[in-house]
Amino acid sequence: MKLRHLTSITDLTAYEIKKIIDRAIVLKKQQKTKRKVKKFLDSKTLTMIFEKPSLRTRISFEIGMTQLGGHAIYLGPDDIQMGSREPVEDIAKVTSSVADIIMARTFSHESIIKLAENSTVPIINGLSNLEHPCQILADLMTIYEVKKTFKNITISFVGDCENNVTHSLALASAILGINFKCASPKGYFMKKEISTIARKIAAKTGSKISETQDPKEAIFHSDVVITDTWVSMGDEKEKEKRLKIFTKYQVNNKLMSLAKKNAIFMHCLPAYRGNEVTSEVIDGEKSVVFQEAENRLHVQKALILFLLGL
């Protein structure tokens, strides 16, 4: 079997994304109904490398491995000091010689690429500064559960569009033929390299990728409204500046009213109520953020099985 990695959401085809989601839905149903789940990962180990802490990433991968009969090892920022105490290339070679699969949550996307280039087992991008493919798989699973289709769907992202969630969302939308609109202040648009790739893919699948400074324009008549924190890890020095710049991009009831009546609200969490979203929205009837968070578990289980050919 050919070695597969998930460094970017573009490592998967539309068919493969749908296949992973379909299996995740089956695994979720089995878990919810307490049906016996085959221990596909018996005696297999996932090594989890964390340069950045995360509640959802750690518990979803670790619990997922346990549920499928495997084991997960957590390596925190002080355990290996990737790139400083030891080269990324060496870490990849050593870890892949004993582990069955590796997940890394890093500051630099370059570290993910180096891990993949030097590993003999699958590498999963648990988050980098450029992309967040695991989160987007969970988002897509949630959208599919609620909307029952990806056809004629429009996703809108409002806030800081130069972030990993927006990048992976735009690319995944293009792959699946979903229309994607994003709104941000000038200077916070998607990275050019990502928007260019997304538009090239979209030209083949028939979807539209658009960017604007107007949040009302972006959200108008959308099926899904998504936002993220305005101050990500690493942006703390710009906190006061960002809180002022992004004020009009807050997702509140007034802004949500511009989307379709049956639109849903999503957020990868952690959320800062009163900043990027109001309590009325994130804790309201249109919000599916906790369903979205739970789906990290199910879709990542399906992803691991896919990458291991099981």
Binding site: residue ranges? 81, 105, 132-135, 164, 228, 232-233, 268-269, 296
Q: Measure the CA–CA gap between 284 and 227, rounded to whole angstroms.
A: 15
11 as an active site residue: the answer is no
Residue 182 among the catalytic residues:
no
Task: Exactly one of 67, 139, 228, 250 is catalytic; name it.
Answer: 228
Strands (E), 17-68: 45-50
Active-site residue among 109, 167, 242, 296? 296
End-to-end CA distance of the chain: 11
Name the residue with tokens 């355990």. Answer: 79
Assess whether 268 carries a catalytic annotation: yes
Distance CA 94, CA 184 (A): 42
Beta strands in 147-280 (DSSP E): 154-158, 179-183, 209-212, 224-227, 264-267
Active site residue 135: yes
Q: How far apart are CA 249 and CA 276, in angstroms?
A: 7
CA distance 142 to 148: 9
- Burial, 297: exposed, middle or buried (Cβ in 10 Å; 0-12, 13-18, 19+)? buried
Catalytic residue chosen out of the listed positions 56, 109, 135, 267? 135
Binding residues for carbamoyl phosphate: 81, 105, 132-135, 268-269, 296
Secondary structure of residue 140 in the 3-state scheme? helix
Strand partners of residue 224: 155, 264
Residues 5, 105, 267, 298: which is the catalytic one? 105
* Numbered residues of the known binding site for L-ornithine: 164, 228, 232-233
Catalytic residue of the set 58, 250, 268, 298: 268
Active-site choice (132, 167, 242, 267) = 132
Tally of CB atoms within 10 A around 217? 13
- Contact status, residue 103 vs residue 95, Cβ threshold 8 Å: no
Residue 163's φ and ψ, nearest 5 degrees, are -135, 170
Q: What residues act catalytically? A: 105, 132, 135, 228, 268, 296
